[in-house]
Structure 1
Amino acid sequence: MEKELNNKRKKLICELIQDEMYVPMKEKEMAAFMQVSKEDRTEFQRVIDELLAEGKIGITSKGKYTKPDENIVTGIFVSNAKGFGFVEVEGRPEDLFIPEPRTGGAFHKDTVQARLLPGQRGKRQEAEIIKVLNHGTTQIVGTFQKSKNFGFVIPDNVKLASDIFIPLERSKGAVDGHKVVVEITDYGNEQKNKKPEGKVVEILGHINDPGVDILSIVKNFELPIGFEEKVLNQAQRVSSEVLDADREGREDLRNVQMVTIDGEDAKDLDDAVSVSKEGENYLLGVHIADVTNYVQENSALDREALNRGTSVYLVDRVIPMLPHVLSNGICSLNQGVDRLALSCIMTVNPKGEVIDYRIVESVICVDRRMTYTSVKKILEDKDEAERREYEAFVPMFELMEELAGILRAKRKKRGSIDFDFPETKIILDKEGHPLEIKPYERNTATKIIEDFMLLANETVAQYFYWLELPFVYRIHDNPDPEKIMQLSVFISNFGYGIKSSKEDVHPKEIQKLLGKIEGTPEEVLISRLTLRSMKRAKYSVECTGHFGLACQYYCHFTSPIRRYPDLQIHRIIKEQLRGRLKENRILHYNEILPEVADRSSRMERRADEAERETDKLKKTEYMEKHIGERFEGVISGITSWGIYVELPNTVEGLIHVSSLMGDYFYYDEANYEMVGRDFGKKYKLGERIAVIVQGTDRFARTVDFVEDDDYGEGSDEAGCEQ
């Protein structure tokens, strides 16, 4: 009823504004004209904001509502500590640049209306903010500082340009150095030189207390801590064993030899694999935990899982999508116990083609819980002791290696792109201080699981695409043609080329390029620039293909314990298998899935950003102990303000342009080089360089380097940490 009422209001407002006799009015004038009561004024304003956001009405610089202006767009404001900012507009390849005097008092993450201005900032269109539609930041995390008569909080988020004023009576007793959560009560006014104001709602602890640094990041990203009681109660009521009633109608696969292969510290095991041979063909089973049996649609558990979207893996903790009693218990495919699963059983020929497949509800029992390290020892290292211990499984592991190699070769042939940048593993002590940082290397075992999961995801996606049923796909759009053109121009300097049309490039061309540069001095440089030219993968109800994997059909089916889209499509799969996907259910899914896909994409981005921030924090803390030491690294980025250098342990630091000695240096953007004006010395991406750690800033999570002038003299290994 409320929705219908709002639609009528919108229609009336649109008709009023489109009337050629209409004179633009401000909000109060329009409300009075439409005889809106004071009680209804807030609701009226909300309808106005919706119309602005939808682009159905416009607004003048003087705040008067009028017909929509093609030069006015709606987006999310991203502020910068220096005062300027950007507006992210959906569908625009580049963000809009907002100069400092034209931010209109907008706060970080506000939804705003911006008017395009003549002129550009570099390659970006300039704009001015003319209206804040709603505030996206209501709380901030920061460090409390006390003055005599008031306090203020310095935000952890460096994108926030202003401190937050805190009246002492609203400080909750915080003292200097406390990490606090502040609720913003007033967003301030730039024109009146009035700072944002807030009140302390939570004290996290002192800045030097163990764990407070990571907790601050958790709060800053608004990640959930713990579960509400009703969610936990619902999880506790779930049986810890598979019930006889749940086995009914399922295929019994408990006699099939299968294993899980995960990291040593993994506790939520949601995928098991089995491989056997049938003549010349392989029978590959990918068995995924049937989480939907225990997480019913629209239950408290389900609503919380949708809200979280994904599990978040931080350096010192995991924030799970589901309570541990489920994710580590009945939903985890633990060794030697019966578990419910959705099994995708594929017959694969020697060419790597899936010639037959079945998707079934099943009951399974995992024979052994294997680790990547152990399987690597068996297959790569041929470790005799390991092979004896798992003697009964060695033939299956060897079949897995054989099949995975075939699948990988097939993907490579069609053009699948593999960016093999090292991931980071940070080892902490009991108090959360970093002891060691090292790259996490992929091996035979990790690749086997990756290859099998990719095939299952493709197979399931293709099956449901041709059924023409509502579904959630994982898509990766083609790169922006302009970015590919820029990449093509740059790599031509090295003698490489990419075949592309004005509209498109085939992923095989990217793959060929990566193959050509492998092992060359410019490999790191070109790989990074190529990755930057790609778009980000996301979830969608439309199956538009996955550019990076060079496939038309792809979804996320294999991790329902830690990703909501997987959990969501499991429900659809089971309803289809049981013949219950009738018209009313199809309508239901068509209605809810766009929001599921959108929210899941947003929560995935949030999780990725939080994970990166915790890694950067611990890397910075680790390097505090190495100030003054010498390292050898690779130039990983060049900007107008300096040169970024990445060490073998994946720590990245900056040599500021003012620290480069022997010349006046400037950034040659066309060639991605830092060039000396007088003597012509050049710094290039991918070039090896020796540096000395000059300083660190744990607050900003940055590491500062200076170039080691003695590089090349004496031993190359001196002071180096690999």
Structure 2
Amino acid sequence: MGAKDEILNFMHNKAYKPLTAEELLNAFEISQQEEDMFLKILDRMEQDGEIVQTRIGRYGIPEKMNLVVGRLERHSKGFGFLIPDDIEKEDVYISAGDINGAMNNDRIIVRIKGTENGKRLSGEIIRILERTNKTIVGDFEASQNFGFVVADDSHIHYDIFVPKKETNGASQGQKVVVEITRWPEERRNPEGKIIEILGNRGEPGVDIEAIIRKLDLPKEFPNEVKEHVAAISEEIPQQEAKRRRDLRDLKMVTIDGDDAKDYDDAVSIEKIGDKNVKLGVHIADVAYYVKESDILDQEARRRATSIYLVDRVIPMLPEKLSNNLCSLRSGEDRLAMTVLMNYDLETGELTDYEILESIINVNHRLTYNKVKEILVNEDEELIQQYDDFIDELRLMEELCLKLRENRFIQGSIDFDFPETRLVLDDDGKPIDIIKVERSIAEKLIEEFMIKTNEVVAEDMYWREVPFIYRVHDYPDQSDLEALNEFIHNFGYHIKGIDSETHPKALQMVLENVKGEPEEKVINTVLLRSMKQAHYADQNIGHFGLASEYYSHFTSPIRRYPDLMIHRIIKEVINQGKLNQSRSEKLEELLPEITDHSSIRERKASDAEMESKDLKKVEYMQDKEGEVYEGIISGMMSFGFFVELPNSIEGLVHVSNLTDDYYIYHEDKQAYIGERTGNTYRLGDQVEVAVDRVNLADRQVDLVLTSK
């Protein structure tokens, strides 16, 4: 047991009362020679929020002092929530008046005050442990003697004050990067200096560049990383190939989108007797090439994820790895991590499994469209072209449907949102929006990856090794009650709302609304009522998938948590168990990795969505005056949003509802005319015309053409 664990165990003792540093030195009988080291450990533990020092210099653990440690998730309206480090603790509501100068994603300590409206915990921020917003991207607003930067990120609630001498030549309306030089205080905005001018707002390329800068990621890899990657051999050493399971004779395929360049998973299937099959999921062995703590690993950890913007990809790993050495290209020997799973084909029950290091050679690169044409449309030309794998594809389809059936029986929630893809010309201008349909091909890969992630997570859980889980907590009761109240307007309700709601109860709501006009709206509101999935070093299960054990194992090319758990798994299957020092190192390292990866994932997701929304508005620039049938998709106090058939949302401002005086009823998610009783509510179909397209504000304004 390390010194940190001994201190925590000591403080967790019921008889412990907060002690000074000197009293702790005496209690642990620390010699003079070790005093400095012990005090440094205390300082580090305090910085990490594991212990707290009171104003009178006494140390204790947060939970015994009515304190909670975590990260701030701030809302654009000013209030926020503490997302606790301890995933079993409840989120804590923090009013705007209790934020006390903290910014979005800052690591904080909160004192619990009580409950908000008798429903959820509320608190106030008493200390900021770590500042995360070193630089901010936004629009420069100039005045005679100073300027302000209005952040692009709506979670950044403050405008940043910029003294005139620190404007660096920025002018009104330019998109800039500002570095924070003074953090916000009560009644005082943060201060900063302009370190980069990206260009004029609305200019081609500037907005996408702003999105990239907001992620704080360079587009290029550092030179030392490039040099390191250039030195990696493209040959697989004979000794490495010999020590692995040789699966090069096993028939397997990759199945991806038409434009995919990195293939990190391949699948195989074999019939075993009359009723059983052996499913193989083979994942690129990125960990062989990216060694823990080397310069390439440090860069991958910092990036944490690949980011898929509408017009480009910012990869986690350099192209030599992502598109070459670690990409499972057909006809080439590749190193892999393989999970072989035996299933009873009649019941879909997992009967046995094995996790191993392998060397593989993929037979075919298939696409979702080709698999759909083979399995659904029975395309004779494609069936002939891939005749050596047709029986396997049909076997995979059979297993997929059984696994999917079992998953929904278990209570897994499936949001069936229609997907679209933007088509850009060579200059990056949007020229079309295409609907993307999920066929058996996408579902096949989805089911196999979900089962692989579950199998790996459960195996490592019962081995009791430090691990990274993909977790999804139960929704807050107050959010479920609000959801139940909302769907009651449409004649639906959630079963078992008064007890711990099972995911199957929410799944039943989705099944009941399928095909109804309000389906999209209820799907959206239900999704918003749920918590975000994230990475954690402690397992609490995955509510949305109704899974007790879940991880991310299947995409190490583009997700750092996957890469990290590959390393852990390789150590476990080769050594049988982890030694004590390795376990202690991982226990210290993994919370930092899970926290950072969750933050980067959210930022990447926001950036991907923002880049799509930008191009969607750009697509509508020449559509002013055109009329569409749309669905009311969102209600706000200033108007309502309408989703058009091409998936683009526009705003009907309340000031444009001119036939009556309309009042917004939040509880009913509706605008109701005071005189006429005309009602516009979530899910209603309306006819609208495009009134104005503002690319700078990324907004499409609509007007109603009829009731």
Band the TM-score falls in, shorter-chain normalisation: 0.7 to 0.9
In the alignment, is residue 372 of structure 1 matched against residue 368 of structure 2?
A: yes
Alpha-carbon distance change, 217 to 655 in structure 1, aligned in 2, over 3 angstroms:
same
| C-alpha contact (below 8 Å) 1:210/1:432 kept by paired residues | no
CA deviation profile, 1:527-552 (whole Å, cap 9, x unmatched): 22222222221222222222221221
Question: Over the residues paired in the alignment, what is the CA RMSD in angstroms?
Answer: 3.7
User: Structure 2 CA distance, aligned partners of 1:460 and 1:162?
Assistant: 44
User: Structure 2 CA distance, aligned partners of 1:308 and 1:595?
Assistant: 14
User: Structure 2 CA distance, aligned partners of 1:94 and 1:362?
Assistant: 46
In the alignment, is residue 247 of structure 1 matched against residue 241 of structure 2?
A: yes
CA deviation profile, 1:32-85 (whole Å, cap 9, x unmatched): xxxxxxxx9xx99x959947956745679xxxx999997876665666777x44
Mean CA deviation greater in 494-503 or 271-280: 494-503
Mean CA deviation greater in 420-429 or 290-299: 420-429
Spell out the pairing of 1:646-661 with structure 2 (5 A cutoff).
Answer: 646-661=643-658
Mean CA deviation greater in 441-450 or 85-94: 85-94
User: Structure 1 CA distance, aligned partners of 2:460 and 2:70?
Assistant: 34
User: Structure 1 CA distance, aligned partners of 2:525 and 2:512?
Assistant: 15
Give 1:516 shift: 1.8
| C-alpha contact (below 8 Å) 1:87/1:98 kept by paired residues | no
In the alignment, is residue 614 of structure 1 matched against residue 597 of structure 2?
A: no
Give 1:494 shift: 3.8
User: Structure 1 CA distance, aligned partners of 2:606 and 2:301?
Assistant: 19
User: Structure 2 CA distance, aligned partners of 1:404 and 1:226?
Assistant: 40
User: Structure 2 CA distance, aligned partners of 1:413 and 1:48?
Assistant: 47
User: Structure 2 CA distance, aligned partners of 1:705 and 1:117?
Assistant: 44
Spell out the pairing of 1:345-360 with structure 2 (5 A cutoff).
Answer: 345-350=340-345, 351-360=347-356
Match among 688, 691, 698 for residue 701 of structure 1: 698
**1:515 corresponding residue in structure 2:** 511
Alpha-carbon distance change, 523 to 218 in structure 1, aligned in 2, over 3 angstroms:
same
Alpha-carbon distance change, 660 to 57 in structure 1, aligned in 2, over 3 angstroms:
farther
Counterpart amino acid of residue 608 in structure 1: S
User: Structure 2 CA distance, aligned partners of 1:582 and 1:133?
Assistant: 32
Mean CA deviation greater in 243-252 or 671-680: 671-680
Counterpart amino acid of residue 657 in structure 2: L
Give the match's secondary structure for 1:686.
Answer: coil
| C-alpha contact (below 8 Å) 1:52/1:58 kept by paired residues | no
**1:714 corresponding residue in structure 2:** none
Match among 263, 266, 273 for residue 272 of structure 1: 266
Give the match's secondary structure for 1:470.
Answer: coil
Give 1:130 shift: 6.3
**2:300 corresponding residue in structure 1:** 305
Alpha-carbon distance change, 669 to 94 in structure 1, aligned in 2, over 3 angstroms:
farther
Alpha-carbon distance change, 376 to 699 in structure 1, aligned in 2, over 3 angstroms:
same
Alpha-carbon distance change, 347 to 666 in structure 1, aligned in 2, over 3 angstroms:
same
Mean CA deviation greater in 530-539 or 694-703: 694-703
| C-alpha contact (below 8 Å) 1:112/1:131 kept by paired residues | yes
**1:35 corresponding residue in structure 2:** none
What is the aligned residue count? 677
Give 1:328 shift: 0.7
| C-alpha contact (below 8 Å) 2:73/2:83 kept by paired residues | no
Give 1:524 shift: 2.1
Mean CA deviation greater in 196-205 or 619-628: 196-205
**1:637 corresponding residue in structure 2:** 634
User: Structure 2 CA distance, aligned partners of 1:590 and 1:159?
Assistant: 31
User: Structure 1 CA distance, aligned partners of 2:177 and 2:529?
Assistant: 37
| C-alpha contact (below 8 Å) 1:116/1:128 kept by paired residues | yes
Counterpart amino acid of residue 360 in structure 2: I
| C-alpha contact (below 8 Å) 1:572/1:581 kept by paired residues | no
**2:31 corresponding residue in structure 1:** none
User: Structure 1 CA distance, aligned partners of 2:646 and 2:554?
Assistant: 31
In the alignment, is residue 324 of structure 1 matched against residue 322 of structure 2?
A: no
Match among 389, 396, 401 for residue 393 of structure 1: 389
**1:338 corresponding residue in structure 2:** 333
| C-alpha contact (below 8 Å) 2:269/2:396 kept by paired residues | yes
**2:600 corresponding residue in structure 1:** 603
User: Structure 2 CA distance, aligned partners of 1:509 and 1:66?
Assistant: 42
**1:465 corresponding residue in structure 2:** 461
| C-alpha contact (below 8 Å) 1:619/1:651 kept by paired residues | yes
Give 1:607 shift: 1.2
Alpha-carbon distance change, 18 to 510 in structure 1, aligned in 2, over 3 angstroms:
farther
Give the match's secondary structure for 1:708.
Answer: strand
**2:30 corresponding residue in structure 1:** none
User: Structure 2 CA distance, aligned partners of 1:293 and 1:602?
Assistant: 26
Spell out the pairing of 1:99-138 with structure 2 (5 A cutoff).
Answer: 99=97, 104=100, 106=102, 109-110=105-106, 135-138=131-134
In the alignment, is residue 556 of structure 1 matched against residue 552 of structure 2?
A: yes
Counterpart amino acid of residue 517 in structure 1: V
In the alignment, is residue 497 of structure 1 matched against residue 500 of structure 2?
A: no
Which runs of 5 or more residues in structure 1 are unaligned? 20-39, 712-722
| C-alpha contact (below 8 Å) 1:672/1:684 kept by paired residues | yes
- Return the TM-score normalized by structure 1: 0.84
Alpha-carbon distance change, 493 to 56 in structure 1, aligned in 2, over 3 angstroms:
same
**1:34 corresponding residue in structure 2:** none
Alpha-carbon distance change, 152 to 274 in structure 1, aligned in 2, over 3 angstroms:
same
Give the match's secondary structure for 1:544.
Answer: coil
Give 1:14 shift: 5.5
User: Structure 1 CA distance, aligned partners of 2:147 and 2:137?
Assistant: 14
User: Structure 2 CA distance, aligned partners of 1:128 and 1:556?
Assistant: 34
Give 1:616 shift: 1.8
In the alignment, is residue 97 of structure 1 matched against residue 95 of structure 2?
A: yes
CA deviation profile, 1:432-454 (whole Å, cap 9, x unmatched): 22222233321121111111111
Alpha-carbon distance change, 628 to 434 in structure 1, aligned in 2, over 3 angstroms:
same
Mean CA deviation greater in 194-203 or 251-260: 194-203
| C-alpha contact (below 8 Å) 1:285/1:344 kept by paired residues | yes
Alpha-carbon distance change, 567 to 136 in structure 1, aligned in 2, over 3 angstroms:
closer
Alpha-carbon distance change, 146 to 110 in structure 1, aligned in 2, over 3 angstroms:
same
Match among 434, 437, 440 for residue 433 of structure 2: 437
User: Structure 2 CA distance, aligned partners of 1:249 and 1:444?
Assistant: 37
**1:578 corresponding residue in structure 2:** 574
In the alignment, is residue 260 of structure 1 matched against residue 254 of structure 2?
A: yes
Give the match's secondary structure for 2:566.
Answer: helix
Spell out the pairing of 1:511-550 with structure 2 (5 A cutoff).
Answer: 511-550=507-546
Counterpart amino acid of residue 611 in structure 1: E
User: Structure 2 CA distance, aligned partners of 1:196 and 1:497?
Assistant: 46
Counterpart amino acid of residue 255 in structure 1: D
Alpha-carbon distance change, 590 to 630 in structure 1, aligned in 2, over 3 angstroms:
same
User: Structure 1 CA distance, aligned partners of 2:319 and 2:658?
Assistant: 55
**1:23 corresponding residue in structure 2:** none
| C-alpha contact (below 8 Å) 2:481/2:497 kept by paired residues | no
Give the match's secondary structure for 2:575.
Answer: coil
CA deviation profile, 1:453-507 (whole Å, cap 9, x unmatched): 1111122222222222222221222222232233334434444333226341222
User: Structure 2 CA distance, aligned partners of 1:488 and 1:164?
Assistant: 40
User: Structure 1 CA distance, aligned partners of 2:493 and 2:644?
Assistant: 29
| C-alpha contact (below 8 Å) 1:55/1:73 kept by paired residues | no
| C-alpha contact (below 8 Å) 2:46/2:53 kept by paired residues | no
Give 1:289 shift: 0.6
| C-alpha contact (below 8 Å) 2:336/2:357 kept by paired residues | yes
Mean CA deviation greater in 324-333 or 531-540: 531-540
Spell out the pairing of 1:166-181 with structure 2 (5 A cutoff).
Answer: 166=162, 169-175=165-171, 178-181=174-177
Match among 664, 676, 679 for residue 676 of structure 2: 679
Give the match's secondary structure for 2:243.
Answer: coil
